[in-house]
Amino acid sequence: MDATASAAAPSAPRSSGPLRVGLIGYGLAGAVFHAPLIAATDGLVLDTVVTSSPERQRQARAEHGEDVRIAADADALFARAGELDLVVVASPNRTHVELARRALEADLAVVVDKPLAATAAEAEDLADLAERRGLLLSVFQNRRWDGDFLTLRGLLEEGALGEVWRFESRFERWRPALKGGWRESGDPADVGGLLYDLGSHLVDQALTLFGPVTAVHAESDARRPGALTDDDTFIALHHASGVRSHLWTSATAALLGPRFRVLGSKAAYVKYGLDPQEDALRSGARPVAGERWGVEPEPAWGVLGAGDATEPVPSRDGDYPAYYAAVAAALRTGGEPPVTAREAARSLRVLEAARVSAAEGRTVRLG
């Protein structure tokens, strides 16, 4: 049921020694997601953290040891490009394209936090550059390794739902007060708002499960007092496969809907609650080889059934570490990364169409 990805030129295999990683940005994305997962991946070494904040510099050393090198800016990192194998861009969205391009031009493989770019055209340009130079370029779509998403994929592969008719997916929160920062900026260059933030995950998951989209309808609002960008967005997708996806992302949901509700000809799957890995990482827990990770307690499992006949479905363990393990493997073998830039561009075309649909009040057709 996966969308077919365009073939990418394989990256040149890297050396057999530890792969040295430079991480640009040590805010939420860098400190909570990327650095811990890099450090937990066999064959990867967190070599350098780029942050201009003295507080974050101290935090990086406290969390990853005095051996981790600190750079105050990206220029200092790229001056040492020959000492690195991979650059991870976890800085604000507006910097993603520039920093990814600089890394590729420095002959470095690159992982970029989502969204890769503000537009599909920019994403395609980066993909072209990576292919010309024979370098890995991947996008961090960690939600493909949520336990509930892995569980749903398994059910679809087994045919447990029959023919899928409708896919409902939500990332909802109750945050009635603004927090400030670039994610809530109204400047288009900041690529803020929920459509490009959590909406990137929602669209990526829908395309991964059900393939290309032919039509997009969206409704997007800035509901909180003083909000300058969307904080309550709905997207309806019509897939070429015939499946319809209904996707919600909101910071203004006083009561949360189901994370997934998937309706098929034989049965439905309904699941509440978020995958536990983000909360675990935020609390300081770290994946350890040989130990279970991303385990969801039984009360949080989803249910499968039809009418009054339902049964719980044990959630598969979440597996964010699998992303960087796959990146390391791709660097070793010269193979394709776990999430490609072409896949990111396809998602961005849908997000761009959603923005147009919401602004103009019409359905946008995609070729």
For the chain, the three-class secondary structure string (H helix, E strand, C coil) is: CCCCCCCCCCCCCCCCCCEEEEEECCCHHHHHHHHHHHHCCCCEEEEEEECCCHHHHHHHHHHHCCCCEEECCHHHHHCCHHHCCEEEECCCHHHHHHHHHHHHHCCCEEEEECCCCCCHHHHHHHHHHHHHHCCCEEEECHHHHCHHHHHHHHHHHHCCCCCEEEEEEEEECECCCCCCCHHHCCCHHHCCCCCCCHHHHHHHHHHHHHCCEEEEEEEEECCCCCCCCCCEEEEEEEECCCCEEEEEEECECCCCCCCEEEEECCCEEEECCCCCHHHHHHCCCCCCCCCCCCCCCHHHCEEEEECCEEEEECCCCCCCHHHHHHHHHHHHHCCCCCCEHHHHHHHHHHHHHHHHHHHHCCCEECC
Alpha carbon distance 37, 55 (integer Å): 21
Say whether pLDDT at 4 is over 60: no
Say whether pLDDT at 14 is over 90: no
Average pLDDT for 135-148: 98
Long-range contacts for 273-276 (Cβ within 8 Å, ≥24 apart)? 273/300, 274/146, 274/171, 275/143, 275/146, 275/147, 275/148, 275/149, 275/318, 276/147, 276/300, 276/318
Say whether pLDDT at 341 is over 80: yes
Say whether pLDDT at 1 is over 90: no
Average pLDDT for 43-51: 97
**pLDDT at residue number 17:** 84
CATH 3.30.360.10 residue spans of the chain: 143-320+351-365
Instruction: Enter the pTM of the model.
Output: 0.93
Say whether pLDDT at 112 is over 50: yes
pLDDT in tens, 154-207: 999 999 999 999 999 999 999 999 999 999 999 999 999 999 999 999 999 999
Q: Compute, in degrees rounded to 10, the torsion defined by CA atoms 207, 210, 211, 212.
A: -80
**DSSP assignment string, 301-314:** -EEEEETTEEEEEP
**pLDDT at residue number 11:** 58
**Mean pLDDT for the chain?**
95
pLDDT in tens, 120-136: 999 999 999 999 999 99
Per cent of the chain over pLDDT 70 is 96
Q: How confident is the model at residue 103 (pLDDT cuts 50, 70, 90)?
A: very high
- Residues for the chain: how many in total? 367
Check: CATH 3.40.50.720 for 19-142+322-337? yes
Alpha carbon distance 189, 96 (integer Å): 11
Average pLDDT for 319-344: 97
**pLDDT at residue number 2:** 41
CATH 3.40.50.720 residue spans of the chain: 19-142+322-337
Q: Which helix (H) or strand (E) holds 104?
A: helix 96-105
For the domain made up of 143-320+351-365, give the CATH fold: Dihydrodipicolinate Reductase; domain 2 (3.30.360)
